[in-house]
């Protein structure tokens, strides 16, 4: 039996404009590694090291540790684990840093214990970790981090994998500013006009139908955000300038990733994606805002063991 594994977990984009708290996708880039090894301390999970971010080392306050411990306890605490975290997805970036940690941890523990659980069975344990980060058990980041691909998370029942629109190339811009999840949630109204809700449901239906028809252009066209971005964009400095730069360079659509501050922009091919990335880099330089840029496609595979 292996006593150590290395797992890779993808960044994710949640909400995807039409699917607030219910729609997300995994990205081919960035992603992050975690090394997990067995110990003889039954029932104990310890964070041995964290690289790339200043995270809490306490096993009760670290997302990866909480998710790992939840699954370990469910399996009867036959051993313990220690974790080395390599954070390439910056916490608070809006592209699923906590989801990657939670998903990676449960995939590693499942492998080391030879538990044989499927991804749907691992989801509740990963959500135990995600709940520590967000205060809620929304799975629109965790599910794609576990399953890969494009995932719809209904109010009740298991997440549903959707066909991925062909040819999508995403550019993710992460300005080096902090947008607290509490502030992002607080910016949203408790009540929205019925007409807006009806239109948003219509766009969501059009998006799902386009995915199943294999109509990437219609799927792109359907990504209209009437309920969230109009209220959250004020929290992201220079959002309008970013949007205009992306569209001028060739982006077909885009929006706020998760609760921000990252934004995502969809291009039809890699050439346009590179032009969008270059335009956004120049825009941020003109605004004197440090940033990270990621060019990606939708990852077919979620968190998984690597050599």
Distance separating alpha carbons of residues 239 and 235, to the nearest angstrom: 9
**Cα–Cα dist 34/307, whole Å:** 12
* Cα 306 versus chain centre, distance: 20
Q: Do the Cβ atoms of 33 and 105 come closer than 8 Å?
A: no
Active-site residue, from 6, 44, 181, 295: 181
Nearest to 84, CA basis, from 103, 98, 104, 60: 104
Is 130 a residue of the active site?
A: yes
Is 281 catalytic? The answer is no
3-class DSSP state of 113: coil
DSSP 226: S
Residues 68, 81 contacting (CB under 8 angstroms)? yes
Catalytic-labelled residue, pool 32, 82, 130, 224: 130
| Dihedral-angle region of residue 250 (phi above 0 means left; psi in -120 to 50 means alpha; beta otherwise) | left
Q: Where are the beta strands (DSSP E) in the chain?
A: 4-14, 23-39, 45-51, 80-86, 150-152, 160-162, 169-175, 253-256, 263-267, 291-296, 304-306
Query: Is 59:44 a contact under the CB 8 Å cutoff?
Result: yes
Query: What values do phi and psi take at 20, rounded to 5?
Result: -55, 125
Q: Would you say 274 and 170 are in contact if contact means Cβ atoms under 8 Å apart?
A: no
Dmax over Cα atoms in the chain, in whole Å?
A: 59
Which residues are identified as catalytic?
130, 181
């Amino acid at each position: 039996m292996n006593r150590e594994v290395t797992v890779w977990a993808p960044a994710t984009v949640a909400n995807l404009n039409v699917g607030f708290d219910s729609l997300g996708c995994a990205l081919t880039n960035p992603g992050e590694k975690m090394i997990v090894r067995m110990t003889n301390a039954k029932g104990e999970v310890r964070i041995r090291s964290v690289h790339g971010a200043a995270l809490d080392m306490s096993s009760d306050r670290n997302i990866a540790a909480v998710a790992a411990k939840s699954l370990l306890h469910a399996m009867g605490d036959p051993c313990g684990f220690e974790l080395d975290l390599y954070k390439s997805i910056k916490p608070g970036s809006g592209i699923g840093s906590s989801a990657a940690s939670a998903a990676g941890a449960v995939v590693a523990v499942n492998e080391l214990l030879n538990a044989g659980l499927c991804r749907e069975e691992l989801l509740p344990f990963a959500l135990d970790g995600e709940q520590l980060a967000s205060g809620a058990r929304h799975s629109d980041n965790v599910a794609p981090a576990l399953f890969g691909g494009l995932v719809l998370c209904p109010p009740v029942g298991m997440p549903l994998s959707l066909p991925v629109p062909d040819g999508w190339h995403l550019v993710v811009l992460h300005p080096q500013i902090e947008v607290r999840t509490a502030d992002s949630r607080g910016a949203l109204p408790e009540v929205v006009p019925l007409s807006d809700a009806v239109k948003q449901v219509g766009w969501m239906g059009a998006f799902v139908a386009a995915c199943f028809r294999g109509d990437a252009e219609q799927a792109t066209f359907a990504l209209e955000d009437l309920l969230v971005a109009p209220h959250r964009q004020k929290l992201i400095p220079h959002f309008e300038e970013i949007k205009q730069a992306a569209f001028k360079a060739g982006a077909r659509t885009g929006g706020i990733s998760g609760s921000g501050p990252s934004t995502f922009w969809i291009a039809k091919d890699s050439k346009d994606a590179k032009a969008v990335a270059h335009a956004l880099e120049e825009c941020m330089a003109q605004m004197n805002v440090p940033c990270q840029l990621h060019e990606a496609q939708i990852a077919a595979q979620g968190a998984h063991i690597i050599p």
